[in-house]
Amino acid sequence: MSAPLLSLKNLGVSFRRDGVTTPAVHSLSLDIQPGETVALVGESGSGKSVSALASLGLLPDNADQRGQISWKGQPVDTADEAHMRSLRGNEIGMIFQEPMTSLNPLHTIETQIGESLRQHQGMSMAAARDRTVALLEQVGIPDPELRLGNHPHELSGGQRQRVMIAMALANQPDLLIADEPTTALDVTIEAQILDLLADLKRESGLSMLFITHDLGVVRQIADRVFVMRDGKLVESGDVTSVFTAPQATYTRDLISAQPDGIRPDAPVQGDPVLDASGLKVHFPIRGGLLRRTKDWIRAVDGVDLTLRQGQTLGIVGESGSGKSTLARAITRLVPSEGRITLDGVAVPNTGATALKSFRRQVQIVFQDPFGALSPRLSVGDIIAEGLMAHDIGTDAEQKQAVAEALQEVGLDPASAGRYPHEFSGGQRQRIAIARALILKPRVILFDEPTSALDMTVQKSLVALLGDLQQRHQLSYIFISHDIALIASISHDMLVMKDGVLVEQGSAETILTRPQQDYTRALITAAKRKS
């Protein structure tokens, strides 16, 4: 066998801050052979991205790096800036997670791709232009000549990621390092990008180091897998053997955390709790001298839904489908047209006083576990807020209720005095759920509550929600981009696209007999991962 393309031996990384050293990676060794795709999998904080950055010498100044890195059999000194620069972009290409922030918004596509061609290969303007067009064609951008003068904001997310790939490929690198390249994309777009990467690999024998948290992606694209946890290598091997016969418990947990199947308990025909009909949210687009309304953005355009007692209604949609706006409209956080009834009683459209009893009955849990809790209040104060707002109970009773709510979501009641930053993402989401629970609502909306969380955390959170639902006969509206997750927890499902409902029905019907092409595309994209 020839020398591996990239080889890491006992790579260790630690960060210094305020005199404290925090280890991030402990002695990681891996080889990448020519033409091979290696996936580095792990949850947040596992050290997977740090390892990739270390191999390119891109770590910040406060990092200490140990171990040996060799490129094509030659040891590499990552401190040698000049040498590293000739490797980066020239022999090793890199793509990042966020295509919007990785591209310079002020330059055209042509300038951004052409820059590295002229810099590394000394091409003339005209030659660089031809090469750029060829590259854009290769990554599947239609009408590449017309796109040259575009700025990044004129492209869609998927197209931007394609441009990023074109930039990475510009100098025909031998190795492509991709750090979560599809995480920010919708599933249908993700599938296209993964196809593109697979094609590139087949055509040009490109090697790839693919960093991701998503096992479904790994299964589609990788030859070999390295599973990392807390900076340590947990398991490695070729894809099929790791997936079919995982050795480490952690790998088994990761694989079993992938949502699949449909909710086992059959839907009980409960009474309708919440009913919405003809729900519309339109945002005006203003323009002209007098800022008259020229047009409307129809974020939600005529949605009907019924939520039954004790059931979960899942809403699936990709970014921009209006699903979050719908959640805010149902909870009366944005003004909307249409009718909402709770237990058959119409809910007023606005007015803090008029909505007071509605607010006790219907609660919402948001996506971002970091943004949803005020960083300046203690956990106890955050959870007790609803009680204070509705003047329920004395101080001592409120304290008692907070302790019970914390216990109910599986947190230590003694943690009421601590602040949100002391908790992990999953724990914060539990705090947010406790805050929603304390008013003993009948309906809770969840707006992508798990999409910022790791898979194993998502699994335990979903289990907690199921528990709470049974215990308190709660009705849920659960919103997610992940059709597999929705199908595994919902009784009824809605599929949303561009502000309207595409399809609705029981989870089983939609998953097995989808009527619409869009639903089918979503299901196919999800199925490829499992």
355 touches another protein (CB under 8 A): yes
**Which residue stretches of 39-143 are H helix?**
48-55, 81-87, 99-102, 109-121, 125-138
Looking up tokens 């090469």, which residue turns up? Answer: 131
Nearer to another protein, 31 or 385 (CB): 385
432 touches another protein (CB under 8 A): yes
286 vs 197: CA distance, rounded Å: 41
Q: H-helix or E-strand containing 43? A: none
Other Cβ atoms closer than 10 A to 452: 20
Residues in the chain: 530
Query: Which pair of tokens denotes residue 228?
Result: 């990392």
Q: Quick one: which segment of 140-148, 153-161, 418-426, 475-483 binds another protein (CB under 8 A)?
A: 418-426
373 touches another protein (CB under 8 A): yes
377 touches another protein (CB under 8 A): yes
Looking up tokens 């919402």, which residue turns up? Answer: 364
513 touches another protein (CB under 8 A): no
235 vs 141: CA distance, rounded Å: 38
Q: Quick one: which segment of 101-109, 258-266, 355-363, 396-404 binds another protein (CB under 8 A)?
A: 355-363
Contact pick of 71, 226, 366, 478 for another protein (by CB under 8 A)? 366
421 touches another protein (CB under 8 A): yes
277 vs 33: CA distance, rounded Å: 58
Residues numbered 298 to 337 that lie near another protein (CB under 8 A) are 328, 331, 333
146 vs 83: CA distance, rounded Å: 36
Query: Which pair of tokens denotes residue 2?
Result: 């020839």
15 touches another protein (CB under 8 A): no
376 touches another protein (CB under 8 A): yes
16 touches another protein (CB under 8 A): no
Contact pick of 83, 360, 399, 528 for another protein (by CB under 8 A)? 360
From residue 4, alpha-carbon distances to 32, 36, 38, 73, 268 in Å are 6, 10, 12, 7, 58
Q: Minimal distance in Å, beta carbon 433 to another protein?
A: 11
356 touches another protein (CB under 8 A): yes
Q: Tell me the per-residue interface mask from 438 to 477 with another protein, x by CB under 8 A, - otherwise.
A: -x--------------------------------------
Q: Minimal distance in Å, beta carbon 330 to another protein?
A: 10
Nearer to another protein, 377 or 464 (CB): 377
Nearer to another protein, 229 or 430 (CB): 430
From residue 106, alpha-carbon distances to 96, 109, 111, 157 in Å are 19, 10, 10, 17
Q: Minimal distance in Å, beta carbon 468 to another protein?
A: 18
Residue 80 corresponds to which amino acid? Answer: D
390 touches another protein (CB under 8 A): yes
134 touches another protein (CB under 8 A): no
Q: Rounded to 5, what percent of the chain is helix, strand, coil? A: 40, 25, 35
59 touches another protein (CB under 8 A): no
If DSSP states are collapsed to H, E and C, what string results for 124-139?
CHHHHHHHHHHHHHHC
Q: Quick one: which segment of 26-34, 240-248, 250-258, 384-392 binds another protein (CB under 8 A)?
A: 384-392
Q: Quick one: which segment of 218-226, 383-391, 455-463, 487-495 binds another protein (CB under 8 A)?
A: 383-391
Largest CA distance in the chain: 77
Nearer to another protein, 204 or 357 (CB): 357
Angle of helix 517-529 relative to helix 187-204, nearest 10 degrees, comes to 60
Contact pick of 107, 148, 183, 419 for another protein (by CB under 8 A)? 419
User: Is beta strand 312-316 parallel, antiparallel or unpaired with respect to 475-480?
Assistant: parallel
Nearer to another protein, 31 or 368 (CB): 368
Query: Which pair of tokens denotes residue 496?
Result: 């949303």
Q: Minimal distance in Å, beta carbon 386 to another protein?
A: 4
Is the Cβ–Cβ distance between 38 and 32 less than 8 Å?
yes
Looking up tokens 């951008």, which residue turns up? Answer: 141
Nearer to another protein, 198 or 355 (CB): 355
Interface with another protein (CB under 8 A): 328, 331, 333, 352, 355-356, 359-360, 362-364, 366-368, 371-377, 385-386, 388-390, 419, 421-422, 432, 435, 439
